Copies of this chain bind each other. A is one copy, B any other.
Amino acid sequence: MRSFIVVGNLATTTPDFSLEDIPGTSGRLDILCRCINSAFVLSHGIRKDVQVFLVLRGGSAPKTVHLRGGELRHLNPDERTTAALLKKALALEADGEWRRATPGIFVRAGDLADLQVWGEGTTYYLREDGIDHRDAITAADGTFVLGDHIGLSAEDEAFLEGLDAKIVSVGPKSLHADHCIVLVNNELDRIEATVQEGSSRDEAVR
């Protein structure tokens, strides 16, 4: 499983934003919509082995939205329909339990440290000064943590350090989170293809 966790520092936790002006009314939920596209969208379908957690901190208390590729329905590649799906999720009451908004989309109260994905495979923290992800990523899955335009706080970084997260960079230029996810997915696809090729070769030899 590939897990992408994106922190939206100012991202709204309510459905009270306008689909006519997503960047201006939602605390930059547009960034998170593009991350969802990058994480899931293939030319002819949805990546089923991906899950995304959006940590929304732009309200009185943080909320987390969870999208699961295996169950996801109604996801289109454009920003507006993705934002409309998030609007539905944010309209639900959120407490400590996951509640399903639409197929594959769930919401609950909680922040980064409350997620339960930690410890399943390697955790990577995407940051400009990290080591090259092409060298650092060696398995076709993992948990990848990214910040929005503001980045992660010192507390977040300390938390990730405690998890022994590898700090990785996607290249020489500083990129938006959605572009980073495209690059990570591609690297994982390449590793997966090499592993599969190896297994078929082993199979043929037997």
Contacts and interface: CB of A to CB of B under 8 A. Distances in A.
A106 to B, nearest CB: 25
Contacts of A189: 171-173
Given A22-B80, A30-B77, A77-B30, A43 B193 contact: no
Given A183-B182, A183-B183, A42 B175 contact: yes
A111 interface: no
Interface string A2-44: 0000000000000000011111000000110010011001111
A34 B77 contact: yes
Contacts of A77: 23, 30-31, 34, 176
B78 A23 contact: yes
Contact of A78 (B38, B79, B171): B79
A153 interface: no
A149 B80 contact: no
Interface of A: 19-23, 30-31, 34, 37-38, 41-44, 76-81, 149, 170-176, 179, 182-183, 185-186, 189-190, 192-193
